[in-house]
Every structure is written in C-alpha cells, then in structure tokens.
Amino acid sequence: MSDKKYETKFFECFGMLQDIRQEGKIRHALTDILFIIVSAFFAKIDKIDEIEEIPLWAKSDINLAWLKQYINLANGIPSVSTFRRILRVVNSKQFEKCFINWARQMTVFSENGGDIVAIDGKTMCGSRDGDKVAHIVSAWCSVNNLVLGQVKTEEKSNEITAIPELLDLLYLEGCVVTVDAIGCQTKIAGKIRRKKADYVLNVKGNQKILQNEISEYFECLTSEEKKQIEDGTNEKVKHLETLDKGHGRIERRKYIYSTEIDWMQDAKKSWAGLTGIGMVYRKVIHKDRITEETQYFIGSVGNVEQFAKAVRGHWGIESVHWSLDVTFRDDANKTRKDMAP
C-alpha cells in the first residue's frame, strides 16, 4: 500500500476517536498526535518510559520531512507532556475499534476465500501489577501477515468472552477461523458461522466428552478402514501427509478428516455448521530426541485439504507472539498507568 493510502485510511479511521480535551487549549489535532505516536511505535519506540524519545524521533530531519507530507504541524512537534497526556486519557476501547477498522481497510482477502484467521491469547508478562496481569487476544491473518485486531482482558479465562467481542469487530466472510482449545465453545462456533465464516477448533479437556468421542472414533478404525483411508478409497474419511525438514529437525504430520458424523447427532445440534471431525498426528525427529503428539478438532470445512491448511495456518500465530516479544519487546513493556497500556 502506498504512503498516500496509508495516510488517508489512517485519518479516516482515527478521525472518529473522541477528543475530550478543552477546545481552547488544543494546539495539536488528536489525529496528528496519534499519527506520530503510531509511526514512532513502528520505529520501535514502544515503551511509555521512552515517551521522551517520540518528539526527538519526530524532530529528526528525515522523520520531520516525512511527517510533514501528511500533517501540517503548524505548532511544531507536540511536547513530551502532550504525548503522555494523550496516551493516558484517550479511550482505549475506541482506539481499539479505530485500529481494527484501519487494519481492515488495508486487508485484502483471496478471491476464492478460505484464508486463515487464527485467534489466540498471549499474556503481557511485563504488565503484572500484583495479582493483575493483562492478556491480549489477537486475530492473525496469514495471507496478509497482519494482525487484524486485538482485545485486552484482565484474566486468562476471560478469553472466552473476549473472543466473541473480537469476532464482532472483524470482517470474516469466506475465511476459516481457527481457535485453540479455550475457544472451543458452542457460542463461539455459532458466532463464527453468523459472520459467514467457517471454523476449525481444537478440542481438549475442556470439552472432555467431545474429545473422548472423537479420539475413540479414530482409535476404533479397523485395519481395513485405515487401509481405505490411506488408499483414498474411503469417500468420507480422507487423509493428507506432509514432511518438513529444517532447523535441525524432521517433522512429519498426518491429517485425517472425517465427514462421517451422522452418529454425532447431539453434537451436530450443539455446534453450528459442524461438518467433520479431525485428527492430527505430529512426529518430530530432533538430533537427540523424538517427540510425538496427537490433537483432535471439530470443523465446518468440507475436506481434508482445508482442514490441514487451517491447522497449519493456526501455528503461524505463535510466530506473531515471538515477534511481539523479540522485535517489539512486549514482555519487557511495564506500562501500567491509566489508559497507556
């Protein structure tokens, strides 16, 4: 996206943000201040105790020339206290919605659909203040390499309520939404389907009966049925295998997806749009050890290729968490006061 489109979309989206400052004392437009802050954060000035670096960054010749292409700066660069005050009083929920809307304006989904949107939560370790610590639930779009939106919650368990809130803010038609086990809830599945999207949800102990039903189904497949699946002659149970080499390891994955779920009448009534159940067997050969893992899923997708793409795409959000910690120093950020976090 060109800089001009970047600027136009930014001011369109953040122009909706409420400015609670006294009119007679305003020397800098709120959107101008936010434009400088967001641009500075992209330049890795990302801690509130580094706030004094923002005007220094903005006043450098090359950055000032760039900023003046988009904001007039009639009264120069705002002071440190102005930046600090804005970060402490701006409504975080309104900012959140504006930012998500901005990200949506810059998102281009594939014409044939099926793009993966992975939702997962992360603890902001540096935000711990006594017993309180912030958690962020993020939506990651792999085709755009872009975080579409984030919602903050004070408790890990609150991800269950934060995920529907995040879904409400996103445009998801034609996408496949993946969520870890904590989000494997009937209400969340229903919300995804109402957004005209499909889902692949990880099933673990929080849905024990469902997990047992799925695991027993795959464990009880006969030798003949397994042979048919591997030969591709079973019409309702398909499999796909991948083999990856790199980073000093060999990783083999076997995906099995079954649309033979007429026996799951209760589950089909409870889980909106449920079309299949899946299993992923993962074997990783390291130099000094071998690890094996089996996971189970439910989905509204129609075939094993979509299922495998969704499961593999969800793992991509883990690299986002790594980038937040390593590149943006998220866990080292100890911002805690007022709205600034």
Summarize pLDDT for 8-29 with one digit per residue, the tens: 788 999 998 988 888 888 899 9
State whether 176 and 301 are in the same domain: yes
Last residue of one domain, picked from the residues 94, 127, 160: 94
Name residue, tokens 């109402």: 194
pLDDT of residue 157: 60
What are the tens digits of pLDDT across the range 291-333?
A: 999 999 999 999 999 999 999 988 878 777 777 776 666 666 6
State whether 47 and 174 are in the same domain: no
State whether 222 and 85 are in the same domain: no
State whether 121 and 250 are in the same domain: yes
In a domain, 170, yes or no: yes
In a domain, 151, yes or no: yes
Encoded tokens for 181: 């086990």
Distance, CA of 58 to CA of 47 (rounded, Å)? 16
Q: Residue 149 phi/psi, 5° resolution?
A: 180, 160
State whether 174 and 316 are in the same domain: yes
Range of the domain at 321: 116-326
State whether 169 and 269 are in the same domain: yes
In a domain, 337, yes or no: no
pLDDT of residue 320: 75
pLDDT of residue 1: 44
In a domain, 108, yes or no: no
Higher-scoring residue by pLDDT: 311, 124: 311
5: pLDDT strictly greater than 60: no
What are the tens digits of pLDDT across the range 246-287?
A: 878 899 999 999 999 999 999 999 999 999 999 999 999 988
Last residue of one domain, picked from the residues 62, 94, 126: 94
In a domain, 80, yes or no: yes
State whether 120 and 89 are in the same domain: no
State whether 156 and 276 are in the same domain: yes
State whether 84 and 208 are in the same domain: no
In a domain, 338, yes or no: no
pLDDT of residue 50: 63
Q: How confident is the model at residue 242 (pLDDT cuts 50, 70, 90)?
A: very high
User: What SS3 string covers 37-85?
Assistant: HHHHHHCCCCCHHHCCHHHHHHHCHHHHHHHCCCCCCCCCCCCHHHHHH
In a domain, 235, yes or no: yes
State whether 82 and 137 are in the same domain: no
Number of structural domains the chain divides into: 2
Closest to 298 (Cα-Cα) out of 224, 227, 194, 218? 218
Share the mean pLDDT of the chain.
87
pLDDT of residue 333: 65
Q: Which of 112-126, 127-141, 167-181, 203-217 comes out lowest in average pLDDT?
A: 127-141
State whether 89 and 121 are in the same domain: no
- What's the one-letter identity of residue 156? K
State mean pLDDT over 235-248: 90
In a domain, 99, yes or no: no
Q: Which of 70-84, 153-167, 209-223 comes out lowest in average pLDDT?
A: 153-167
State whether 227 and 319 are in the same domain: yes
pLDDT of residue 281: 96
